[in-house]
Structures are given as structure tokens and as C-alpha cells.
């Protein structure tokens, strides 16, 4: 007989596509990240090409490659990520799907939750976004749900903390 706070084993470990998309502003967050990282690489390649013309034999192809990667990172990856990234919580588990080239589906029972955090980096703060991090007693590491509206992340962290407190188990 199942205890009220514990779902049957089949439900506990069901790995399914989560219901909720991340916030649409996550697209801009991923674009800004690409601009900072890949834009810096493209700027460095351009600088080498302009300052040392004798490097044209290798710096021109490097610059072209850096610009192509920047274009993909700005105009393909963010929209692709938005279509892939999904999340869901229940009274028993947290579900997340992330990635773009390599996709990852994760499920973590709340009985194993050790910490539940809402985190905001500088770009997330600028866009009103946050990351929900559920750390479990798993060697797989934390589940990070990126691109949530800040209020949604705070509300979900509070609700998951409440559920985890009521769930029997020692989170190990």
C-alpha cells in the first residue's frame, strides 16, 4: 500500500516531456550570452586580421568561421533552445528538458531534494528572468530550469520547498 506522499514507482520515475515552455525572454538571454562569448571571439579574430595583415592566410578563414558561429549562436541556437526547453513540477517530482544539439531529459523526485534555489545572473536580472535549481542527492547533479520569469521561479521554489518539507525521506 502506498503512503500518501509517495507515488507508485511507475509514476515516480516516469521520464516524459514536461508541459511548460520557458519564458519567451529566454531567447534574448541566450542571444546576449552568444553575443558576449562568440562576439568576443569574432572581435579577437578581426583584431588579429586588422593589426597583423601578414596573418591573412590563417586569420581570414578563422574570422569567417568565428562570424558563422556567431550567426548560428545568435539566430539559430536561441530559437531552437526555446523550442526544446520545457519544465514541469508535481507534488512528487521536478521534470526538465534542455539542450539544443544534445537534449537532456531529467526527472528528480522531491523526496531526494536537498536544496531548491532561484538564481539570477546579471543578464537574467536585466531581462527579469531566473534559473530554478533543484539539487538532489544524485550523482547526476542538480536540475537547472533556465529562462523562467523571476516571479515564476520564486513562486515555484517556494512551493517545491513546502512540498519537500512535507515529503518523507532523508534526501539521500
pLDDT band, very low/low/confident/very high, at 80 (cuts 50, 70, 90): very high
pLDDT digits (tens, 9 = 90+) for 107-154: 988 888 999 999 999 999 999 999 999 998 877 889 999 999 999 999
Which helix (H) or strand (E) element contains residue 135?
Answer: strand 129-136
- Cell triple for 124: 537574467
| Count of the separate structural domains present in the chain | 2
46 lies in a domain?
yes
Same domain, yes or no, for 160 and 136? yes
Give the CA angle between residues 156, 89, 85 to the nearest 5°.
Answer: 95
Same domain, yes or no, for 100 and 159? yes
Residue 44 has a pLDDT of 96
Same domain, yes or no, for 68 and 110? no
Same domain, yes or no, for 121 and 70? no
Residue 1 has a pLDDT of 39
Instruction: Give mean pLDDT, residues 11-28.
Output: 84
Same domain, yes or no, for 125 and 151? yes
The CATH number of the domain holding residue 146 is: 2.30.29.30
CA-to-CA separations, 137 to 2, 33, 104, 106, in angstroms, rounded: 22, 30, 19, 14
pLDDT band, very low/low/confident/very high, at 172 (cuts 50, 70, 90): low
Same domain, yes or no, for 94 and 63? no
User: What range defines the domain where residue 142 resides?
Assistant: 86-166
Same domain, yes or no, for 161 and 92? yes
Least confident of 8-12, 52-56, 66-70: 8-12
CA dist 133 and 119 (Å) reads: 7
Give the CA angle between residues 112, 145, 67 to the nearest 5°.
Answer: 140
Backbone angles phi, psi at 127, to 5 degrees: -100, 0
95, 89 Cβ separation under 8 angstroms: yes
pLDDT band, very low/low/confident/very high, at 164 (cuts 50, 70, 90): confident
Amino acid at each position: 500500500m502506498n503512503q500518501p506522499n509517495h507515488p507508485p514507482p511507475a509514476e515516480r520515475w516516469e521520464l516524459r516531456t514536461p508541459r511548460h515552455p520557458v519564458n519567451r525572454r529566454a531567447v534574448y538571454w541566450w542571444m546576449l550570452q552568444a553575443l558576449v562569448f562568440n562576439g568576443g571571439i569574432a572581435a579577437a579574430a578581426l583584431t588579429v586580421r586588422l593589426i597583423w595583415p601578414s596573418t591573412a592566410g590563417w586569420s581570414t578563414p578563422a574570422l569567417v568561421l568565428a562570424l558563422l558561429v556567431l550567426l548560428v549562436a545568435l539566430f539559430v541556437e536561441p530559437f531552437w533552445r526555446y523550442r526544446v526547453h520545457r519544465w514541469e513540477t508535481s507534488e512528487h517530482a521536478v521534470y526538465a528538458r534542455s539542450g539544443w544539439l544534445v537534449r537532456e531529459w531529467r526527472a528528480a523526485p522531491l523526496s531526494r531534494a536537498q536544496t531548491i534555489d532561484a538564481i539570477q545572473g546579471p543578464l537574467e536580472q536585466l531581462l527579469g528572468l531566473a534559473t530554478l535549481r533543484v539539487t538532489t542527492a544524485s550523482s547526476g547533479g542538480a536540475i537547472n530550469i533556465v529562462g523562467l520569469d523571476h516571479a515564476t521561479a520564486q513562486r515555484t521554489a517556494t512551493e517545491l520547498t513546502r512540498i519537500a518539507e512535507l515529503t518523507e525521506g532523508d534526501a539521500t
